[in-house]
Homo-oligomer: A and B are copies of this chain.
Amino acid sequence: MKKLINDVETMLSESLDGFAAAHADIVALGEAGQFVRRRTPKPGKVALISGGGSGHEPLHTGFVGHGMLDAACPGQIFTSPTPDQMLAAAQSVETGAGVLFIVKNYSGDMMNFQMAAEMVDCDNETVVVNDDVAVENSTYTTGRRGVAGTLIVEKILGAAAERGDPLRKLKQLGDAVNKATASMGVALTSCTVPAAGKPTFQIGGDEMEMGVGIHGEPGRRRIKLAGADDIAHELTGAILKDLSLKAGQQVLLLVNGFGGTPMLELYLMVNAVHKVLAGHQVKVARHLTGSYVTSLEMAGCSVTVSALDDAQLALWDAPVHTAALRWGM
């Protein structure tokens, strides 16, 4: 295992300290690193709280700030945070308008957030993200997994919360965006959980894992390494089938790297996906390309298509100022 670390036991807290130092203008670190919160909460605004296992950076901590999350709870690597963390975060950022939890659909995340939701003593709702079309059920979910589409749900909800939308309306919006969003990924290499010290899965030099999860969980099938066009075809095809878009539909396209894939290849994938979408008369109205929802240093990428209406696109375009996403301010 080759990583820039001192000690697997302290790596998470050291990284959080570095993150907090690098972005001290926008975030603050909760006690004992239980959560990252927006430096100055906005009174009267619904507090958006997300979180999940670490190792997917910049998700979620990198999305804390104006126009996106109020707090994010980082769990251990690939391990959901605990209800304590969510409670502490809620206490820190809730200002009277209630809390909206944004949760990726994994058993662990679901159970921990559910416990927190039961224990928190303010009004709250939960939006569950399950955008991964690769598999209907996975080892650790009931139903589809939540993957890169989470970013889109968080961004759009963040903008709506920022302008003052109330809790129930946000819950509805979140569910709608999640429903309009579909993703699928492919891995070329495995990631290595630091404390485990060896790769999560073995994969041949000429193989890829089609439909991989963002923890390196198995996907649809292990197949021979294919060209970018073929990969784009399979990923985008599965997504389009799931969303059943009409010709002329406008979408947001997110080509997301898993951590070990350079921009050169991600943009090449953008080009490949474009060709497939054009073939289906789907119009790409917005783009995001980069490594935003990662699996440590895994090589590979996911494609996310989100069929947004004009109002949702306007929320996507609204100003945001976080460590990893910033525009309009």
Contacts and interface: CB of A to CB of B under 8 A. Distances in A.
Contact of A267 (B15, B269, B299, B326): B15
A271 interface: yes
Given A2-B188, A225-B2, A231-B4, A15 B265 contact: yes
Given A4-B268, A21-B284, A23-B287, A57 B326 contact: no
A157 to B, nearest CB: 21
A228 B10 CA distance: 12
Contact of A205 (B2, B261, B300): B2
Contacts of A57: 262-264, 267
Contacts of A21: 270-271, 274, 284, 287
A272 B14 contact: yes
Interface secondary structure of A, over-half rule: mixed
A22 B289 contact: yes
Interface in A233-278: 255, 259-272, 274
Nearest to A321: B327
Contacts of A18: 266-272, 274, 289
Nearest to A253: B22
A294 B6 contact: no
A54 interface: yes
Contacts of A327: 326, 329
Nearest to A301: B4
A14 B268 contact: yes
Given A270-B22, A274-B18, A188 B4 contact: yes
Interface in A13-44: 14-19, 21-23
A270 B17 CA distance: 9
A142 to B, nearest CB: 28
A16 B265 contact: no
Contact of A272 (B6, B270, B291, B300): B6
A11, A62, A188, A271 — most chain B CB neighbours (10 Å): A271
A58 to B, nearest CB: 6
Interface in A273-309: 274, 284, 287, 289, 291, 294, 296-297, 299-301
Interface of A: 2-7, 11-12, 14-19, 21-23, 54-55, 57-58, 62, 188-189, 205, 208, 225, 227-229, 231, 255, 259-272, 274, 284, 287, 289, 291, 294, 296-297, 299-301, 326-329
